[in-house]
Amino acid sequence: MKQLPKGVYCVSEAFAEKEGKVFFSFQDDTYEARLGENAFSCFEDLITQPLTAPQMPFCGYQDTPVILLPAGLYRAYAHATTKEESLRTWFPCPVTVLGENAGISPNGRDLRTENPQRRAESVIEGNFYFGCLAIRGELPGTMTVDGIDLQAKLLDERTGENATLAVKNCQLRSALVYDILSAPGKTSLSVSDCRADGMDACNGEGRLFAAGSGKLQVRRLYMAATDKFPGLSNYSRTAEIGSDTDILLQDCLLENCTAVRGLTFRLPRDARAAIRLENCQFVRSFPEDAAVWANLPNENCTLSVTNCRFEGAGDTAICYDGLGKVTVENTTQTGYASLCQKTKPRRTVVDPEKTYPITDPHTPVTGDFSVLDGLYAGRQLFYGDFHCHSDSGGTSDGKTPLRDYVPRMQELGMDFAAIVDHRQMRHFFLPEWDEQYLICGTEPGMRLQDPSRPPNACRFHYTMIFPDKTGLGKVFEAFPEFEFTGGIDGCTIYPGLTKERFLELAEFVWKLGGLLTHAHPRQLMASKDLLHYYFGDNVPLETVHGDVDAYATRQNRDLWVTLLNMGKRIRTHGSSDAHGPVSNRGLTAVYAPRHFSTDIFKVIRSGDCTAGGVAIQMSVEDCPMGSATSYAPGKKLYLRLNGFHFAHKKEHTVYCLKIYTDKGLAYAREFDGREQTLILPVQKRLYYRAEVTNESDGLPVAFSNPIWLE
């Protein structure tokens, strides 16, 4: 029996409801500790205590307080009462967190095999968006996590100098959407002897590691069989690394990874950075992208690749652009057309000869637009957000006070916003509620009671949005499962419902004149059966989520199109789901008779709108987007694209207007962002819909709702 040394602390859920002395085993030794002094049942109790560093090295560590986690399960979010708490457990100072496998690599000698000497794991668990161990402030020193099965996030937001986040000997198995190892400021990030095998990205674009201006060193990492972005940039390649940084990947093996972005580096214009890859292997990974992509904007940026091996398929293993220097030595590739190549300049001029893979050819015809003009006569164009959150008190978890919402919207060129603060309706009874701009709603969560589905296919969020303040109260009255506490300031739970009961809820909302939408479908529900995402034709799918450029939008769009081609008549719209500042990145564009929330909502509910920041009018004869008409020879599709919201229009960019049917791409025409008109003869198809894409950057811009034919 050993006394736990001063400066060493133990956390274990086994201590719950115990008092006084406790005993625990750690790495073959048994220790005695005292609750409330050096033993705690959860992180939340530990971080309220003054922590000191040990006087003598413990497991080789001495500079910071040492926290022991004996083998078992630890929930980073277990005692949280708010979303902010559940997202982050803040440590008051740099600490060393040691699991049962501290000092024992999870990798065998060849990295592919697991180390048979690994003990029972100390598991820190998150839950999709929730679960984060974090540190912030101007606190120098090294924060270390060693020997953990990490299923949560590590976040180092320190702003001072001489700060390091060190992650050693960890299994990285988090199913969180977010970045897993993140040091966005000046903190250096060191990752060594870690294993990320079979990590589920939960359909998100979060990265395995993300760094700011500090050094990044990754050694002996094994990453395999995952769709997680390895780092460092995001899907649209707009996320930048800091200006002054040194990046090293050494002795790493990445194989059979299926993310749509490889190891991606984008540097700011004034960067002074050195990126080094040494003795690394990239095997059958990132089938849609180069294994390594680097933007080197000036002569002070370098990329060196030494003693590496690339095996895969595609155009190029290593792509780069900019003015920086690239050196490749003792490096081989198999399966790629080339080993290393500078990317072609970004396209900025419309190419009238550019061809697209048309699979359902339609030839434009001339004619007048009187039918379309009549349909949209008396309507104005409005842009807004159909799913966002405010700080309205109660159970809301947004960061922008409701009183500030409309002024900020006006600055951003937004005309409406559906505020769907969680578990309540108090926000739309507050005196600062503006009925001209703001639309009533809430966003519940759900665990569907359906034993035929896997657990991840039962988890999702949905919004319930109404034209007036009375609808949500009627829902709570008709569905006691919400356990609404009553009154304007009342709150609800997130009820679990059977599928049958949930469909009753959706139909009830629809009959009230409201709209129930499957929010961010691919970012929460994780199922390979795409019909799991479908809850009837009156339940739209939110395609644009967060930003039209985001990976989330691509995934939701692909899901929606697949269901459309299966004959499902599902509408869509766009949103930011902003919980912080008001955002104009996830827009819905709609033509409504006047600038008032009720009028705007009713048109969006009908589906006559566009997901994204592009103004589109479209009809088949006098049948607008979101509705159905009978097929007859001689009918025509009319389309007018009136332009872009200013936040979504890029200079020197080639756009493409595309018309799709259930049989594929019917028509495509490049343009420079100015107004477009089009008339197409209609053939016998399930539907017609329009898309706008950014051909310069390869990103989506907007999706119209379909027009269905019967």
* Residue 92, in any domain of the structure: no
Going by pLDDT thresholds of 50, 70 and 90, the confidence category of residue 176 is confident
Q: Are residues 649 and 604 in the same domain?
A: no
Q: Are residues 519 and 664 in the same domain?
A: no
- pLDDT at residue number 78: 46
Q: How far apart are the two ends of the chain, measured CA to CA in Å?
A: 79
pLDDT of residue 83 exceeding 60: no
Q: Are residues 428 and 446 in the same domain?
A: yes
Q: Are residues 555 and 661 in the same domain?
A: no
Q: Are residues 500 and 635 in the same domain?
A: no
Domain boundary among 586, 610, 634: 610
* Residue 315, in any domain of the structure: no
- pLDDT at residue number 352: 87
pLDDT of residue 353 exceeding 60: yes
Q: Are residues 355 and 430 in the same domain?
A: no
* Residue 516, in any domain of the structure: yes
Q: Are residues 578 and 461 in the same domain?
A: yes
pLDDT tens-digit readout, 215-254: 999 999 999 999 999 989 999 998 888 888 899 999 999 9
- pLDDT at residue number 129: 65
- pLDDT at residue number 629: 98
**Cα 491 → chain centroid:** 27
* 345: its two tokens: 């300049």
User: 3-class secondary structure for 592-635?
Assistant: ECCCCHHHHHHHHHHCCEEEECEEEEEEECCEECCCEECCCCCC
- pLDDT at residue number 683: 98
| Cα–Cα dist 607/595, whole Å | 18
- pLDDT at residue number 131: 80
- pLDDT at residue number 84: 42
Strand order in the sheet with 153-158: 89-90, 132-137, 153-158, 181-183, 209-211
Q: How does 288-314 read in b/e, with b if 16+ C-beta sit within 10 Å?
A: ebbbbbbbbbeebbbbbbeebbbbbeb
Task: Provide, rounded to the nearest whole percent, the portion of the chain with pLDDT above 70.
Answer: 98
The reply to whether the predicted model has a pTM over 0.75 is: yes
* 636: its two tokens: 């025509």
pLDDT tens-digit readout, 564-583: 999 999 999 999 999 999 99
pLDDT tens-digit readout, 676-697: 999 999 999 999 999 999 999 9
* Residue 655, in any domain of the structure: yes
- pLDDT at residue number 87: 45
Instruction: Give the gyration radius of the chain's Cα atoms.
Output: 27
CA-wise closest residue to 92 among 44, 55, 57: 44
Q: Are residues 606 and 630 in the same domain?
A: no
pLDDT tens-digit readout, 580-606: 999 999 999 999 999 999 999 999 999
- pLDDT at residue number 550: 93
* Residue 186, in any domain of the structure: no
pLDDT of residue 512 exceeding 60: yes
Q: Are residues 584 and 658 in the same domain?
A: no
Domain that holds residue 534: 377-610
- pLDDT at residue number 128: 65
* Residue 118, in any domain of the structure: no
CA-wise closest residue to 153 among 122, 182, 195: 182
| Cα–Cα dist 298/321, whole Å | 10
Contact at 8 Å (CB) between 228 and 204?
no
The owner of tokens 């030794």 is 29
Average pLDDT, the chain: 94
User: 3-class secondary structure for 458-481?
Assistant: CEEEEEEEECCCCHHHHHHHHCHH
Contact at 8 Å (CB) between 439 and 417?
yes
- Backbone phi, then psi, for 37, in 5-degree steps? -110, -60
The C-alpha angle with vertex 367 and arms to 362 and 370, in degrees rounded to 5, equals: 120
CATH number of the CATH domain containing 648:
2.60.40.1930
pLDDT of residue 146 exceeding 80: yes
Q: Are residues 570 and 696 in the same domain?
A: no
* Residue 681, in any domain of the structure: yes
CATH number of the CATH domain containing 421:
3.20.20.140
Q: Note the maximum CA span of the chain.
A: 91
Domain boundary among 560, 576, 610: 610
The residue-averaged pLDDT of 411-439 equals 98
Q: Are residues 536 and 667 in the same domain?
A: no
* 378: its two tokens: 């008396």
| Cα–Cα dist 95/74, whole Å | 17
CA-wise closest residue to 387 among 583, 593, 591, 594: 583
Q: Are residues 359 and 393 in the same domain?
A: no
Strand order in the sheet with 29-34: 2-3, 29-34, 21-26
Number of domains in the chain: 2
pLDDT tens-digit readout, 599-638: 999 999 999 999 999 999 999 999 999 999 999 999 999 9
* Residue 22, in any domain of the structure: no
Domain boundary among 610, 625, 645: 610
